[in-house]
Amino acid sequence: MMRNPTAACRWFLAIVSLALMVGGTAVTGCQQQEKVEAPAQVHTVTGLGDDAGKVAQERNLTPHDVVAALKTYMPSGRLDDYVMFASGGHSGQVLVIGVPSMRLLKVIGVFTPEPWQGWGTGSVATEAVLRAGDPSGRKTSWGDTHHPALSETDGAYDGQFLFIGDKANSRLAVIDLRDFETKQILANPLAMSSHGAAFVTPNTDYVVEGGQYATPLGVRYAPIEDYQKSYRGLVTFWKFDRQKGRIDRDKSFAMELPPYWQDLCDAGKLESDGWVFCNSFNTEMATGGIEKNQPPFEAGVSQRDMDYLHIINLKRAAEVAAAGKVETVNGFRYIPLQTSIAEQLLYFAPEPKSPHGVDVTPGGEYLVVAGKLDPHVTVYSMAKIKDAIAKQSFEKKDPYGVPLLKFDDVKEVQVELGLGPLHTQFDAQGYAYTTLFLDSAVARWSLGGAYQSKHSDPPWKLLTKLPVHYNVGHLAAAEGDTTTPNGKYLVAMDKWSIDRFQNVGPLLPQNFQLIDISQPGDRLQLLYDMPIGIGEPHYAQIVKADKLHSWEAYPEVGWDPHQQAKHASATVIGKERVERKGNRVEVWMTAVRSHFTPEHVEIRKGDHVVWHITNVERARDATHGFALPYYNINLSLEPGETDTIEFDADRDGAFSFYCSEFCSALHLEMAGYMLVKP
Amino acid sequence: MKARIRTALQYAERPALRATARAVVGPRVPAHELRRRPLRYWLPTLLLGAAAACLVASIFLPYWKLTLHAPQYPKGLHVHAYLDRMTGDVAEIDALNHYIGMRRLDEAARLERSLSIIAVSVIALLVAAAVFIHTRFAAYLSLPAALFPAAFLVDLQLWLRHFGTHLDPRAPLSQAIKPFVPPVLGQGFVGQFSTVARVEAGFHLALAATAAIAVGLYFHWRAYRPLAER
């Protein structure tokens, strides 16, 4: 075969190449056996085995308990199907909780400084958000968060933003759900307190803030004897600019209302789109004064059998405001009461006294008002309301001239549920759920009309009451206040827990109780108690987890979370520096596992220091803290984030700063010195 | 193309040059022979052409992948090495490597990466040129391409050795992590990390090119050898 050397050479080449190929393939072939962990074997649970039975026996669990446990238990690494955003009450924060596991995922700093998130503990940007919300010149360091409202598109949660009101100071906050951080806090320029925030219109054009205790508009003084003349109620419509992720104060407006104590509101949808409903109490216009031998408020405001459901034509009100038929106080526009009456923006309907919630059914056809001091829920028909308004069929007018619709004209039905009905939510089976404060129970009742076909129960009828523990306030069903309620779970938010938890002293945790509402008829199952030891939550909303699309890390290194854009003073590795201009020292610092650069920051007493720190990490969860003692500073620098602190170095010394978030094995070593020369 | 080369040869001015050129380029295939046995002559052309194409395509695909597994990285960390760049969790791996004093990945094989696209294009062109050469010079032209995968791995292993054995002695973990040689293929361990290195699609294409060259040269020899001996 080998006829000459050239041929031999060719053969050699061919063989070498083939060997290379075969060898290479073998090597690479081996490498492809990269170990991929097989998913854990799935054992089908057909009956609880001996082990499970033994545990149940030892722990004294009934079969019912075991089922509840199976419905809520999350193996490590399993994620919840729903996320609940709950008011944190007077903690001033928002709680984020996984459902059905009821695991606390986060406490979002809103009205109160929250050091872990670097919220209001030195960060210039977060301080600016908090200070913009100071209702007066006084630094306000708490809030009373009441009603969270997720942004909506077509009446369904879209998972983009969350709003929440502060009852104490009549404020509203905007939280961006890309990073779960508060971006804006506004103080209402007209009102002192507000209970009915926040509720959004179906496309989040407006965020509704209902009032509470009437005061002279613009936070002024007027003698209490002039209550009827000088004190006013209020509802505010904050215009939301979704593009900017901010409330546009200048396009927002309020409506002056009689000095009844407006309470919760709800925005109409579908059938009732363009309308807003708020209820009220103290239509008696009682002014209290128990010490002067006058009836105390609790009695004075509860004299009349009926208070007034406020029915507001928001669509037309926006047109009236746009037409300039407004007055301003503190630079904020409001439609005067008489203008509202003349422009037919406002109607009242009688409602059983001292009501609490007014909740619109998923299709917007009905409004459900819970009587609180009346054992019924009263269901109003939007069609009947529209009809009565069209016919101008009024019982009379209130003392301020607001037309009062006839109760029987607009009422659809009253359903007797029990004592102390407060709030109502809905599911996908045509059921409504109402909390009964005095009965300490959640009532399930059937809707009629368009909802009759969804269930096989008689319409408008109480089906069952599930005891809860205790003194239930709000409740939240999965997407239960939207056009597309999800059902499945409901959380009862109990004000008292009494004996449900380990005694932790006289201040007891609140109790969130998870209830399975997936079965029809009278079948409700209490699944789980979750103690809340941070404040007294009010309302909550539960959204499908897959609607939330939050960032795992900021989109790029040098991100300013407060502008959601590149930070003007971002630094990269190698560009860190300290510059002095007169007595103004500016620092550009980077943080990465496990060091700050620079580690020595040398300044002089009396310098004004502006200090930018960029976390250049890209890894998920690689957050660094920045703690500077004696200067009251702690930052949370999440991967990619740039944050700025600014202070006068009014105290000399050697100040050790350090990373306050355990970031790495050399976390303790992640430190430096700010050397302030006398 | 083939016709044009033949014409160029016929009209070459200097007989000596013409003879040398003929010796390098080799015999042309007579038309009747090509008609009679087209597969015999097209096969080497197709295989060598395919090899050149594979090489060019490989430029756009990753050649090598390193995966690092550690408890705190449930999805692992991944680096994909292309001929001219590295992608994936490079920043994160650099951040981790600084603890053991390893240089930044970007500092590795800078010369190779800057030349690689041109170099691979040229060796692919040489293979394509070999199609028109009907002597053993075709094999010489194909040789760089045939050896390229091996050269790639050898170079990579040398860089890994260099990186692993030139750790900054002042690094935080220099006492804990001694110099080591990360394997170019297969599993390695450093600290809490286990690493898996494997070749990727680009390398497979380059390897396919080597195979195509080997087989193509065999058919090349079978087709043109008899013509030369005639």
Give the percent of chain A with pLDDT over 90: 88
- Residue B175's pLDDT is 85
- Residue A16's pLDDT is 45
pLDDT in tens, A479-509: 999 999 999 999 999 999 999 999 999 999 9
d(CA A216, CA A222): 7
- Residue A519's pLDDT is 96
- Residue B5's pLDDT is 58
pLDDT of A169 > 50? The answer is: yes
- pLDDT bracket for residue B86 (50, 70, 90): very high
User: Across residues A592-617, what is the average pLDDT?
Assistant: 97
Nearest CA in chain B to A593: B95
Q: Could you say which of 2.60.40.10, 2.40.10.10, 2.40.128.110, 2.130.10.10 is the CATH number of the domain covering A82-547?
A: 2.130.10.10
pLDDT in tens, A257-314: 999 999 999 999 999 999 999 999 999 999 999 999 999 999 998 889 999 999 999 9
**Closest Cβ–Cβ partner in A10, A18, A21 for B221:** A10
What residues of chain B lie within 8 A of the CB of A593, using their CB? Answer: 95-96, 99
CB contact under 8 A, A21 and B214: yes
Q: With the C-alpha atoms ordered A143, A147, A148, A154, is the resulting torsion angle positive or negative?
A: negative
Q: Do A82-547 and A559-677 show the same overall fold? A: no
**Closest Cβ–Cβ partner in B139, B185, B225 for A31:** B185
**Closest Cβ–Cβ partner in B67, B172, B221 for A34:** B67
A&B contacts, CB < 8 Å: 87
d(CA A122, CA A633): 5
- pLDDT bracket for residue A27 (50, 70, 90): very low
- Residue A137's pLDDT is 79
Higher pLDDT, B22 or A122: A122
User: Across residues B74-100, what is the average pLDDT?
Assistant: 94
**Closest Cβ–Cβ partner in B91, B146, B203 for A17:** B146
Give the percent of chain B with pLDDT over 90: 73
User: Across residues A79-87, what is the average pLDDT?
Assistant: 98
* Contact assessment for residue B85 and residue B113, using Cβ atoms and an 8 Å cutoff: yes
Please report how the helices B201-229 and B110-130 are oriented relative to each other, as an axis angle in degrees rounded to 10: 30
- Residue A47's pLDDT is 62
Taking an 8 Å Cβ-Cβ cutoff, which residues of chain A contact chain B?
Answer: 6-7, 9-10, 13-14, 16-18, 20-21, 24-25, 27-28, 30-32, 34-35, 592-594, 617-619, 665-666, 669
- pLDDT bracket for residue B4 (50, 70, 90): low
pLDDT in tens, B49-66: 999 999 999 999 999 999
d(CA A472, CA A493): 6
pLDDT in tens, A398-431: 999 999 999 999 999 999 999 999 999 999 999 9
pLDDT in tens, A194-224: 998 999 999 999 999 999 999 999 989 999 9
CB contact under 8 A, A619 and B92: yes
Give the percent of chain A with pLDDT over 70: 93
pLDDT in tens, B181-217: 999 999 999 888 999 999 999 999 999 999 999 999 9
pLDDT in tens, A423-471: 999 999 999 999 999 999 999 999 999 999 999 999 999 999 999 999 9
CB atoms under 10 Å from CB of B50, counted, come to 18
- Residue A48's pLDDT is 64
- Residue A37's pLDDT is 45
* Contact assessment for residue A59 and residue A52, using Cβ atoms and an 8 Å cutoff: no
∠ CA B88-B92-B97, nearest 5°, is: 120
Domain borders along chain A are 82-547, 559-677
Task: Find out if CATH 2.60.40.420 is the number for domain A559-677.
Answer: yes
Task: Name the one residue in this structure whose structure tokens are 């090495």.
Answer: B81
Please write down the long-range contacts of B187-195, taking CB distance under 8 Å and 24 or more positions apart: B190/B100, B191/B70, B191/B100, B192/B70, B192/B71, B193/B68, B193/B69, B193/B70, B193/B96, B194/B68, B194/B69, B194/B70, B195/B66, B195/B67, B195/B68, B195/B69
CB contact under 8 A, A13 and B196: no
pLDDT of A541 > 50? The answer is: yes
pLDDT of A539 > 70? The answer is: yes
Task: Name the one residue in this structure whose structure tokens are 């009688």.
Answer: A350
Nearest Cα neighbor of A158 from A426, A489, A432, A484 is A484
Nearest Cα neighbor of A347 from A320, A384, A385 is A385
* Contact assessment for residue A443 and residue A472, using Cβ atoms and an 8 Å cutoff: no
- Residue A136's pLDDT is 79
pLDDT in tens, A542-579: 999 999 999 999 999 999 999 999 999 999 999 999 99
Torsion of CA A597, A601, A607, A612, to 10 degrees: 10
ipTM of predicted assembly, 2 dp: 0.76
What residues of chain A lie within 8 A of the CB of B89, using their CB? Answer: 618-619
Contacts of A249 (CB under 8 A, 6+ apart): A186, A238, A332
Question: Using H for helix, E for strand and C for coil, what is the string for A417-429?
Answer: CCCCEEEEEECCC
CB contact under 8 A, A24 and B210: yes
User: Across residues B96-106, what is the average pLDDT?
Assistant: 92
- Residue B120's pLDDT is 96
What residues of chain B lie within 8 A of the CB of A594, using their CB? Answer: 99, 172
Residue B51 CB-density burial (10 A; 0-12 exposed, 13-18 middle, 19+ buried): buried
Mean pLDDT, chain A, integer? 92
* Contact assessment for residue A491 and residue A480, using Cβ atoms and an 8 Å cutoff: no
Nearest Cα neighbor of A307 from A267, A262, A344 is A262
DSSP structure class, residue A598: S
Mean pLDDT, chain B, integer? 90
Poorest-confidence range of A226-230, A373-377, A652-656? A373-377
CB contact under 8 A, A13 and B143: yes
Backbone Cα Rg of chain A: 30
d(CA A562, CA A128): 10
pLDDT of A5 > 80? The answer is: no
d(CA A580, CA A577): 10
pLDDT of B230 > 70? The answer is: no
- Report residue B30 CA to chain centroid gap: 35
Question: Using H for helix, E for strand and C for coil, what is the string for B155-199?
Answer: HHHHHHHHHHHCCCCCCCCCCCCCCCCCCCCEEEEECCEEEEEEE
- Report residue A324 CA to chain centroid gap: 33
CB contact under 8 A, B91 and A618: yes
What residues of chain A lie within 8 A of the CB of B186, using their CB? Answer: 30-31
d(CA A606, CA A592): 30
d(CA A377, CA A367): 10
Nearest Cα neighbor of A563 from A53, A181, A78 is A181
Contacts of A383 (CB under 8 A, 6+ apart): A271, A365
